[in-house]
Each structure stands twice: as structure tokens, then as C-alpha cells.
Amino acid sequence: MLTDPSDMQFPIRLLQHKLTHLYYKSPGDWTPSADEADHFQDLSSAAQLCWNLHLEQVELVLNFGQPTYDIRLQIGETDNRLNGGTMQSSHSDRMGINPTVSSPDNSLSEAQ
């Protein structure tokens, strides 16, 4: 949690629950305020926390000071369209970020 806004360096890395839109603060504690949320030093520490606490339905938010510039990354979820409609999860799937990209024929494919 930041105490002085002048110490803020962008982007701020936050975990946000996709359904409740609350930000992760500490184990079992979520907040509606990005300022009160836990700010992660890097992507791997956020992904590791999600793995350790079995957090689901969360995304990493890269906050640049204004919501219009936020970048949201899915953590540990595989789009079920990518594997024949069945959700399969492995340790490596849950630890990674699984971005999807559109191919020229508008079908989704997993980024390599």
C-alpha cells in the first residue's frame, strides 16, 4: 500500500476480481479502492500469489493513473475456445498469463 502519492511509479500493478471488481488487499481482504490495495512489484509476484492462494476470476491491472489507460491481463485462465471447449488447467497454465490474439481469419489463438 502506498503512503505518499509522490512515491508512485507507473504502472501500478493490482489484482482485481473480475466479478466483484474489488482489489486484492491481503489474504481474505478485498477493497473497492485501488489506493488501499496491495501494489505488486512485478508480474511474477502477482501470479505467484494467485497460485499460492488459489485465486480465481482475477486479473492483473496495470494502472497508469487513469482508468482509461488501464491494461488488464488474465492470470492463469485458459480460454476454453482454445482447447476444444473444455477447461483444462495445469500448474503451468495457472502460473502463466494466457493472452489470446486474433489471427487474420478472426479466430482466436494462444500467443506463442
Beta strands in 1-112 (DSSP E): 12-17, 23-26, 29-31, 58-63, 71-74, 100-102, 108-110
Contacts of 101 (CB under 8 A, 6+ apart): 108, 109, 111
Residues 36-62 pLDDT 10s: 999 999 999 999 999 999 999 999 999
Dist CA 42 CA 56 (whole Å): 19
Q: Which triple of cell numbers denotes residue 1?
A: 500500500
Sign of CA dihedral 37, 38, 39, 42: negative
Q: Report if pTM > 0.85.
A: no
The residues spanned by each domain of the chain are 5-110
